[in-house]
Structure 1
Amino acid sequence: MVIPDITFRLAKENAQMALFSPYDVQRRYGKPFGDIAISERYDELLADSHVRKTYINARDFFQTLAEIQFESGYPYIMFEDTVNRANPIAGRINMSNLCSEILQVNSASRYDDNLDYIHIGHDISCNLGSLNIAHVMDSPDIGRTVETAIRGLTAVSDMSHIRSVPSIAAGNAASHAIGLGQMNLHGYLAREGIAYGSPEALDFTNFYFYTITWHALHTSMRLARERGKTFAGFAQSRYASGDYFTQYLQDDWQPKTAKVRALFARSGITLPTREMWLKLRDDVMRYGIYNQNLQAVPPTGSISYINHATSSIHPIVAKIEIRKEGKTGRVYYPAPFMTNENLDMYQDAYEIGPEKLLIPMQRLRATSIRDCRSPCFSPIPPRPAI
């Protein structure tokens, strides 16, 4: 579900919210309803008598949405205006995939009456792979680890030829977009005696993604320099202007907690300095980057289990998770690194709750991931009446 900022304003005012006819909007404004920035043009559409509309209460909408999510976990939500404010690529993002880790600019195809292409648009190929955070932190060279992952995913993108869907083939060829994800965050934190959502966990997560981002961008810049080629539209992006890097140049960022500083030092990881970001900015402005998108954190269900890892960047849902695997029957997956001595580090998502821990962790991760990450919201189930 795509939700613009105007929806929250109307809910705050306990106002009625207009639902516009997509057919009328396209007929009047010459573009699909999904390509219009609703928050910016809501009042204009509201005043247009040629656009049919019905009304619902904005608060009732959110109430119904919350009930459905509590019951089923669906729908996933994309906050349209937040996404586009953070988007460094020219163009508008108007949709995501089911798990909501892919946020890329796309363009629609046009067809004639026989459904032959008049114009082939650009759609999205999900070229995804995830790193095991515990293994990355144990790696003797984090830069080489990330470079190998980025080059591997880029090879997948380069070798993908989805001729059956020309718009996806065109989009993939133009963007070289990939999505490097992460998993086993909770497992690694627990192994190191850090509670998920604690100040140390927030500190580690922030600087882990900060470091991964530098190495991912550096590798993509090297690919562009080696190949003499960038993604289509690089010149119009905030990478080309250097504006993207402003957030990293305000200070020499260092971990706030001694425990996290010790973790990176023990792993032999040099955190990117302001000078490193300045050099990277200058190199990117000169050579470009090859990949339009570099990081996306998917939910990683089954692949996490076979990697002896916790799912994605989420907290566990149970200390021992039970899954039904086809004809195999029930399979039991204990959380990685769990022992009798560290059980208190394995609070599940329902025990942790969203307000104090999950939401701050998700917000921190969002600062460095320029595609998206797929968060899971785990409301505390109601206790039975006694």
Structure 2
Amino acid sequence: MNTPPSPTGVERTDGPSVLIGVLAPLTRPGWAEAGRHLLAGFELAAEEVNADGGIAGRPLQLVVRDTAADPRRAAAAVDELAGLGVAALAGEYHSVVARAAAARADALGLPFLCSSAVLDALTEQPTEWVARLAPTQSHGWRIYADFLLGAGHSRIAVAAEPSVYWASGVGVLRDHLAPRGGTVVELDMSAPDPTAVCDALARSGASAVLLLTGHPEPAVPIVAAVRRDPRLAGITIGAPAGQPEFPAWAASLGEDGAAVPFLRYLPERFGPLGTRVGAALRERLAEAPSFVAFEGYDTVAVLADVLRSHGADRAAIARSWPEVAVEGTRGEIRFSRTPGTGIRQWVWPPVQVVDRDPADPGRFRVLHTG
């Protein structure tokens, strides 16, 4: 990213830049729309840091690499960025990719602040090098399961593609629902044909189906097929991973994409910082910012605070995670140890279950909070 000129009256930034490596899915098969929002948050926060004097008078510079949802590409990018001298690593949306990046960062002794990926176990063993802003999958998906039970759904079908992330989600749902009288039925997604999915769903006896699949394929065609199948009238379609959050969902499905509950990590009401940042992100993106854009902004806000307090030494940054206390756009950010993660975790960002309003698919309704 190019460092913008300092406004009049603000301390100039000069000297060698402080580098932060950034990972994001910016091209397919990655979820490029999420990557674009994540990067917008990073860039806005970095520009504000530099307008406020940078890091002890030195400009903050983002060195961006596109992961394209490829774990091997992400691991190679971590190696490259470490060689370029970045003080820390930030970003990534896809959980499996973030796990590969975290493993490599841990091996290299490179601090990694994960912005958006939620898979509980980002590393095979406990590490001091990795911290995370997004809530764990188990935390968010339990809240989602409580929403389903509260809405009267006790038999829930899942259309899950093969993936460590989706399999983990199914396990969270099953473990949380079973003691409360809920049942999870897995549909065959070995060949995700929308007609076959509808047939299996009609046989399942489920009152809700969760799309644990990629977007737009095969999620969009499955939603369209379910909406048009008279056997499935009244069935609830859910997408806990957040596919309906972005405008492309509404553009592809229109009214069919409404009333599909999903998880997002935003407060019910923003404070002054969140309100200001939200307006700036909307202008930058030319559309409503997703929770992912706020995650990007908060990531750089935390790293800038750490760099100003502890300098650009990698080991000092990693040691500082327990001391972080930063006002983020969605609340005060602090890190602690969380069982099952092996890393430092913000406990917890706000969690909502929302959907697009059938009367106005461009508007979101908050259905449940946790």
TM-score, structure 2 as length reference? 0.28
For the pair shown, the structure with the greater C-alpha radius of gyration is 1
Higher strand share: 2
Task: Give the structure with the larger helix fraction.
Answer: 1
